[in-house]
Amino acid sequence: MNHPIVKNSITFDLPVDDVSEWTRIGRHNKRTKNLIIIGGYITIVISLAWSLFFLFVGFNFLLFTCIISIFTAAVQIALAKRNSVIVAAVLMTHLLFLTVTFACFADISGDGIPQSAQMNLLPIAAAAFLIFEKNNLYLRALFPAFGVLLFLFFELGLAPQPWPNLLIPIEIRTVSFWFNTLSGVLAASTVISIMRYTRKHERTLEAELRSAVSRGEFRLFYQPQVNEQGRIYGVEALLRWHHPTKSNVSPAEFIPLAEETGLIMPIGDWALRTACAQIVQWSKSPKTSELHIAVNISATQFQQPDFVQQVKHIISKSGASPAKLELELTESALMGDLEEVTGKMLALKEIGIRWSLDDFGTGYSSLSFLKHLPLDQLKIDQSFVRDMLNDERSSAILDTIIHLGQTLKLDTIAEGVEHENQLLILQEAGCAHFQGYLFSRPVPIEVLDDLIASSFPNSGKYPLTNAGLPQERIPISLEFSRATA
Ligand code: C2E
Ligand code: CA
Ligand code: CA
């Protein structure tokens, strides 16, 4: 069933049947990622302890299996951190399975002490069963079933003893019996609790967010971006959630939850479609045809393998000019394979889309990062603008970013401009584009239409609106001094 989402007279159908599936995938991936990372660290610690022991007693073969486990765990953690969750999970389950099986053959029963290494096969089977629940038959059923059968095979003492020379001394085997039993049971329960864990409030908020999507409680507000002449040349689209009881929920609150649950996919998709429809609307009037819309793209959205195709599809379906669309990314979205990130950006830049790096200066990326990415604009984070008047360091960073932009031939835009003295200093430093409460808060499209009408061709004055602006923030009117960029 599709529910219409109505926004500013533009109506879309949102495939809500898909929403719960997106939610499930998002949460499942997050849990799997946590499991792989936590499991990886635990494997490293346990394998390290065993390898020291095997090194000490000279069991080189078992030492070798421990080293493989440590290496595998390190690779699986790195892969999971780069969001290659399924690859990491396949690697983790299969290589751990192999090393534990080798260990089982070396863990020979005798002296009344049964084999115990096979206990470690249970958490591996449980992890595979829970992680690969929607994957192919081999991963979701055959592999876990084989793990359980192998566990029974060793547990019932049916395994041959290929390496009798490796018989571990009885004292050690007594300890390892308890250790393996405990670690096997604990690991299995950790796997189950990580994969099945749900918090009550998480469920409530998620349910609310999901129904918000299906009930069309989202709107896009638009915040003007102005040039040196105080003329609106574009806008940033910002989501608003009109919650039935909590009225306006800030995107700062619901975007992280939407990211976590996977709901960011339909929400981000809707925001992009709405913005494209607005571009088409604006293209019909000479007063608005030159305006661009900047849309925020979350890391999860950008990291989807078919992100480029999705954006192209939305653009071609809407008929919007790609040159009027700007996509804002934060540095977190750009983590991962630099070649892949650059490829995605270039593919969309080729059709005319501009790329802006949001919250610039707050992340940890190196400058060489900037050299490689096909960016068009740096968006100076509002914290530097806020602190520039009181903090020399912020002001120095601001100057450096503007200078960097000029050197790399990138546009710079300062966001969070609230006071005219901030504006004047920014202009003085060479910044030519601004966004902030000084000009206008984010406003609904009806208000924006009035603003555009009043700022065209160029009023040269600000604020463009004082809608919702506290009295003390309303600045006096001022003619801008510098020429248009
Ligand atoms: P952002 O992309 O850094 O957006 C700028 C935020 O600063 C907006 O908050 C805007 O209302 C606020 N702002 C603008 N001018 C001023 C100013 O002069 N002073 C102050 N103090 N604040 C100012 P908002 O709308 O609450 O959005 C918060 C964040 O939520 C955004 O930060 C963005 O990360 C995220 N977000 C909003 N809409 C979307 C969306 O459609 N998709 C995605 N993925 N994220 C979104
Ligand atoms: Ca932004
Ligand atoms: Ca920002």
Answer yes or no: are the C-beta atoms of 236 and 223 closer than 8 Å.
yes
Q: Exposed, middle or buried by CB within 10 Å (0-12, 13-18, 19+), for 164?
A: exposed
* Residue whose CA lies nearest to ligand 1 atom number 13: 416
Measured from the Cα of 250, ligand 1's closest atom is 26
Residue 166: pLDDT over 90: no
Q: Is the pLDDT higher at 76 or at 466?
A: 76
Helices (H), 107-215: 121-131, 137, 143-155, 170-196, 200-215
pLDDT tier at 253, thresholds 50, 70, 90: confident
d(CA 251, CA 240): 6
Measured from the Cα of 418, ligand 1's closest atom is 18
Which DSSP letter does residue 220 get? E
Ordered DSSP codes for 231-277: -EEEEEEEEEEEETTTEEE-HHHHHHHHHHHTTHHHHHHHHHHHHHH
* Residue whose CA lies nearest to ligand 1 atom number 4: 238
Distance (angstroms) between ligand 1 centre and the Cα of 270 equals 17
Distance (angstroms) between ligand 1 centre and the Cα of 142 equals 48
pLDDT in tens, 461-471: 555 544 433 33
Average pLDDT over residues 172-188: 82
pLDDT in tens, 307-336: 999 999 999 999 999 999 999 999 888 888
From 238, 276, 303, mutation site for ligand 1 pocket: most ligand atoms within 8 A of C-beta: 238
Residue 402 has what pLDDT?
95
Q: Which residues contact 142 (CB under 8 A, 6 or more apart)?
A: none
Distance (angstroms) between ligand 2 centre and the Cα of 21 equals 27
Closest ligand to 359 CA?
3
Residue 182 has what pLDDT?
87
pLDDT tier at 121, thresholds 50, 70, 90: very high
Angular region, 167: left φ>0, alpha ψ -120 to 50, beta rest = beta
d(CA 120, CA 107): 12
Nearest residue to 232 via CA among 26, 84, 391, 433: 433
Average pLDDT over residues 156-176: 71
Residue 345: pLDDT over 50: yes
Residue 289: pLDDT over 50: yes
Residue 394: pLDDT over 80: yes
Q: Is 439 in the pocket of ligand 1 (CB under 6 A)?
A: no
Phi, psi torsion values for 293, nearest 5 degrees: -120, 130
Residue 160 has what pLDDT?
74
Q: How far is CA 419 from CA 378, 383, 455, in A?
A: 21, 14, 19
Q: Exposed, middle or buried by CB within 10 Å (0-12, 13-18, 19+), for 483?
A: exposed
Residue 361 has what pLDDT?
86
Q: Is 274 in the pocket of ligand 1 (CB under 6 A)?
A: no
pLDDT in tens, 407-440: 999 999 999 999 999 999 999 999 999 999 999 9
Q: Is 26 in the pocket of ligand 1 (CB under 6 A)?
A: no
Indicate the SS3 state at residue 5: strand
d(CA 309, CA 307): 6
Q: Exposed, middle or buried by CB within 10 Å (0-12, 13-18, 19+), for 160?
A: exposed
Q: Is 322 in the pocket of ligand 1 (CB under 6 A)?
A: no
Measured from the Cα of 379, ligand 1's closest atom is 3
* Residue whose CA lies nearest to ligand 1 atom number 25: 238
Task: Give the distance, in angstroms, between the CA of residue 226 and the centroid of all CA atoms in the same chain.
Answer: 29
Phi, psi torsion values for 159, nearest 5 degrees: -75, 145
Answer yes or no: are the C-beta atoms of 222 and 293 closer than 8 Å.
yes
Q: Is 239 in the pocket of ligand 1 (CB under 6 A)?
A: yes
Nearest residue to 300 via CA among 249, 273, 264: 264
Distance (angstroms) between ligand 2 centre and the Cα of 236 equals 7
Residue 26 has what pLDDT?
65
Percentage of residues of the chain with pLDDT beyond 70: 83
Distance (angstroms) between ligand 2 centre and the Cα of 292 equals 14
pLDDT tier at 9, thresholds 50, 70, 90: very low
* Residue whose CA lies nearest to ligand 1 atom number 21: 416
Q: Which of 71-85, 384-398, 462-476 has the lowest mean pLDDT?
A: 462-476
d(CA 223, CA 437): 9
Residue 181: pLDDT over 60: yes
pLDDT tier at 44, thresholds 50, 70, 90: very high
* Residue whose CA lies nearest to ligand 1 atom number 41: 239
Q: Is 358 in the pocket of ligand 1 (CB under 6 A)?
A: yes
Q: Which residues contact 243 (CB under 8 A, 6 or more apart)?
A: 208, 212, 217, 249
Q: What's the whole-model pTM score?
A: 0.64
Angular region, 430: left φ>0, alpha ψ -120 to 50, beta rest = left
Q: Is 437 in the pocket of ligand 1 (CB under 6 A)?
A: yes
Answer yes or no: are the C-beta atoms of 352 and 321 closer than 8 Å.
yes
Nearest residue to 294 via CA among 243, 234, 352: 234
Average pLDDT over residues 191-214: 74
Distance (angstroms) between ligand 2 centre and the Cα of 101 equals 51
Q: Which of 10-24, 287-301, 317-331 has the lowest mean pLDDT?
A: 10-24
Residue 484: pLDDT over 70: no
Residue 110 has what pLDDT?
66
Residue 447: pLDDT over 90: yes
Residue 478 has what pLDDT?
34
Q: Is 144 in the pocket of ligand 1 (CB under 6 A)?
A: no
From 225, 236, 255, 474, mutation site for ligand 1 pocket: most ligand atoms within 8 A of C-beta: 255
Average pLDDT over residues 325-351: 93
Residue 165 has what pLDDT?
62
Q: Is 422 in the pocket of ligand 1 (CB under 6 A)?
A: no
Answer yes or no: are the C-beta atoms of 438 and 418 closer than 8 Å.
yes
Ordered DSSP codes for 426-458: HHHHT--EEESTTT---B-HHHHHHHHHHHTTT
Closest ligand to 361 CA?
3
Q: Is the pLDDT higher at 261 or at 333?
A: 333
Indicate the SS3 state at residue 116: coil
* Residue whose CA lies nearest to ligand 1 atom number 37: 238
Residue 42 has what pLDDT?
87
Residue 205 has what pLDDT?
73
